[in-house]
Structure 1
Amino acid sequence: METKLQTNQNVEIKSKKEVSLRKLLNMIGLLIFGGLALTIITNPPHSINEIKEFLLFIVGSAFVYYVLVNLYFIGQSWRKVVYASLLIIGSVSIFIIFYLSTSSIPH
């Protein structure tokens, strides 16, 4: 009786769960930012400058969202970058909350 030896092969398996979760998060982003863009129609701003600022906010937010979502699914090391980015964004947001609540705004 002979034994057949098989060598180990490293095979990377990409699960369908991650692919479908990635699609789901991209579709959720489309709904969120599409809904934000529709608010210009339902509640029109007072000036052209406000429209420009609002559209700039939507485009910037969508860019950050899609970059972070797609970096998350590239690989394990990129997930750490996404987590660090979210930590920085959250920390800056909390700092801005306290800063704006303690400083007076001149009118």
Structure 2
Amino acid sequence: MMEAKIQTSQSAEVTYNKEVRMQKLLNIFGIFIFGGLALTNLTNPLPSSDYTKEILFFIGGSALIYYITVNIFFLGNLGRKVAFIILILLSCFSLFMAVYLAVNSMPH
């Protein structure tokens, strides 16, 4: 007589860290954003090499600030506070520069 072997199903839990996945996603977004900005210089070259240097420095500085802020944000609660402080300071500086440039405009 044959006996049936009965196996009980075991549920396996797949655990993953959502924060690590989000950090990787934001880093990949940064590659596309800043890589696309840098490629713009190839498709629409600027008239002067000085302008090209300036835009590449701007893109590099922006990418540096972006990646530092994203990676600090995912360090924990203290990292989140520091990242929010960085964002607040950048916002205040942007508003200050907008007002400053509106008041002290340069003739073109």
- TM-score, scaled relative to structure 2: 0.82
Distance 2:42 2:107 in 1: 31
Aligned partner of 1:96: which letter? M
Distance 1:48 1:105 in 2: 22
Aligned partner of 2:78: which letter? S
Distance 2:50 2:32 in 1: 25
Distance 1:81 1:103 in 2: 32
Which structure 1 segments of 5+ residues have no match? 1-13
Residue identity (%): 48
Which residue of structure 2 aligns with residue 91 of structure 1? 92
Aligned partner of 1:64: which letter? I
Structure 1, residues 43-92: CA drift from partner, whole Å, max 9, x if none?
A: 10011111111111111110110001001111111111110010000011
2:55 is the alignment partner of 1:54: yes
Map 1:19-30 → 2, pairs under 5 A? 19-30=20-31
Distance 2:94 2:41 in 1: 25
SS of residue matched to 1:104: coil
Structure 1, residues 14-52: CA drift from partner, whole Å, max 9, x if none?
A: 951101100110010000000000101111001111111
Which residue of structure 1 aligns with residue 76 of structure 2? 75
Distance 1:58 1:97 in 2: 19
Which residue of structure 2 aligns with residue 18 of structure 1? 19
Which residue of structure 1 aligns with residue 9 of structure 2? none
Structure index of larger Rg: 2
Aligned partner of 1:40: which letter? N
Distance 1:104 1:76 in 2: 41
Which residue of structure 2 aligns with residue 5 of structure 1? none
Which structure 2 segments of 5+ residues have no match? 1-14
Which residue of structure 2 aligns with residue 3 of structure 1? none
Q: Structure 1 segments of 4 or more deviating over 4 A?
A: none
Count of aligned pairs: 94
